[in-house]
Amino acid sequence: LLLLQGRTYFFKLIWVGVVGTSIPVVMVTYGVSLSMISNSFLLQTECIYSMFLSYIFLRERITKRQIFLTILSFIGITLILTNGVIRSINIGDVLFLIAPLFYQLGHVVAKGVLKKADAIIVVTYRFLIAGLMLLPVSMVLGLNPLSEFSRHSEAILIAFYASLRYSFGNYLWYYGVKCINLSKATSILIAYPMISAILGVFIVGEALSAVKIIGISLVFFSTLELSRIRSVLRE
């Protein structure tokens, strides 16, 4: 039924699944094998791409205050993930820089679909199309996830719960994008490393350096202020 409801936006949803999901997922996966995890802060440049694309294609109003707070949040995330030390840049880091652009190219199109369709339709098509694209790619690269299911019965259960969690998270994301400007939603979303850092302190007893504390403070302040900015379009 969901597939039938989305047939009106079929080609746009294919764009979301291929350009906005499959391609960047491959980039990030390959990039992780080449780069250092600390350099994953480059993925947070998505908020910069979002402001440009949303301003051009969605006619969102981007205020100087929003630009300042977004950059402040990005600086904070960089401090949290790198602890103030940026390693050398290689091809994996270049992929980290390019992948967020593709994510946003998908979100811009999805934002248009969300004006008339429910978020669950976008999520369903996104996962279905991306799954059909990524499965053969992973098998060509010698990463056959189906073989894991045959060897380990618990892998099916883990995959099910992981898919359920990820699907629900994506539904919340697209529902949020449906209600507020994409640029604002993206700027708020990049704050998740702050939450991970805080949970790391309470759950595994990870120590916080002065640099990370500064980063958390910057992200918390900027995210709080970003949430107060109204989502409006240019006339």
Q: What is the model's pLDDT at position 170?
A: 96
Mean of the pLDDT values across residues 38-61?
Answer: 94
By CB atoms closer than 10 A (0-12, 13-18, 19+), residue 57 is: middle
For 154, phi then psi, to 5°, come to: -70, -15
Tokens, residue 45 = 């440049």
pLDDT digits (tens, 9 = 90+) for 97-154: 999 999 999 999 999 999 999 999 999 999 999 988 888 877 776 666 666 566 666 7
By CB atoms closer than 10 A (0-12, 13-18, 19+), residue 123 is: buried
pTM of the model: 0.90
pLDDT digits (tens, 9 = 90+) for 179-199: 999 999 999 999 988 988 888
Q: What is the model's pLDDT at position 152?
A: 65
By CB atoms closer than 10 A (0-12, 13-18, 19+), residue 80 is: buried
Over pLDDT 90: what percentage of the chain? 62
Out of 42-51, 109-118, 154-163, least confident range: 154-163
Q: What is the model's pLDDT at position 206?
A: 83
Q: How confident is the model at residue 50 (pLDDT cuts 50, 70, 90)?
A: very high
